[in-house]
A = this chain, B = another copy of it.
């Protein structure tokens, strides 16, 4: 069992200007910290989360032995990011459904639940909100900012928005922007949610319903893109959930019943997700992914965008990740090298696809451990 974690929260009254031109005020950020901030306030590591995650990065909650944080294999006493050395901060992003202010909360301007009126938030907005939290915690410069997938985009954006506020950035299984196929998958998932009759234009809370059909489809699509072809074939292949005994093929010949194990797995994942994830949050987070594109303001030149960055970098990618392929990480590496930045890059030969960044893989965890041990003074 892991160490005990305690969620905290902080409320910010002053309006936060957003990239869209809107702003948000009187909002709360949920966060957790692990380890101890040293006297020099120099050993803080900020962890940024991806789509389906939160401030609960490591440890377990009291009385809930199976409540490990989403990066508990990475972060903790003696782990790759060693909380005996570092003061680790996990923060839940604005618009999430796990504790920070989001679409299911009340809009102070109207007294009504935000719903679909929650302002569109971007990676840059999240970073600005995180910076305010660090200000309040009295942390001027991070030892490192770190994240995987969408979290990696936030880590990268930190280095461009606040180049002097971190000494290192660790960007795992990420990309400098979404490509057309990534956006396409997000869009299908969003359409499934938005066209669910229970979505009610994003104001489903008032109708006491949840667009579960749409959320299920969204999650099923997501799961396919998180896994590699190989690992799907190895885990599920063409295995039937339950072969029919008196059939030559074992098939039950039905268009709607579960026939294959992979169908059963996806339906289960979809059902589970639809029980706890907020539909408006899904729209917001996938849009933040779509919009992230630091090169955009530089005529599409990533190297020009990355000239802002001053810190040192570790990038990690996974060989079978077809969502954010190694090629996408290499684009970032190249852009940083074009600017003569100090970059370490590890391409991990892992079978699990995009999911690998969350999994127990000794080579991966060792690379991160070595980087922190040898390059990141506390």
Q: Footprint of B on A, CB under 8 Å?
A: 19-22, 116, 120, 122, 177-181, 183-185, 187-188, 190-192, 194-197, 202, 213, 216-217, 220-221, 223-224, 227, 229, 232-233, 235-238, 247-251, 253-256, 259-260, 262-263, 266-267, 270, 280, 283-284, 286-287, 290-291, 293, 296-297
Contact = CB atoms under 8 A, between A and B. Distances in A.
A358 to B, nearest CB: 19
Given A180-B233, A249-B296, A297-B249, A217 B220 contact: no
A158 to B, nearest CB: 19
B224 A195 contact: no
Max chain B C-beta neighbours (<10 A), residue from A202, A248, A260: A260
Contacts of A19: 249, 253
Nearest to A291: B251
Contacts of A262: 180, 183-184, 187
B290 A181 contact: no
State the number of copies, please: 2
A267 B191 contact: yes
B188 A266 contact: yes
Given A188-B266, A220-B191, A290-B259, A254 B120 contact: yes
Contacts of A191: 216-217, 220, 267, 270
Given A181-B224, A183-B260, A229-B181, A197 B197 contact: yes
B296 A180 contact: no
Nearest 6 A/B pairs, CB to CB: A20-B253, A255-B283, A180-B232, A120-B253, A180-B236, A195-B213
Nearest to A197: B197
A270 to B, nearest CB: 7
Contacts of A236: 180
A249 B291 contact: yes
A283 B253 CA distance: 12
A185 B224 contact: yes
Contacts of A120: 253-255
Given A19-B249, A297-B249, A190 B238 contact: no
B216 A256 contact: no
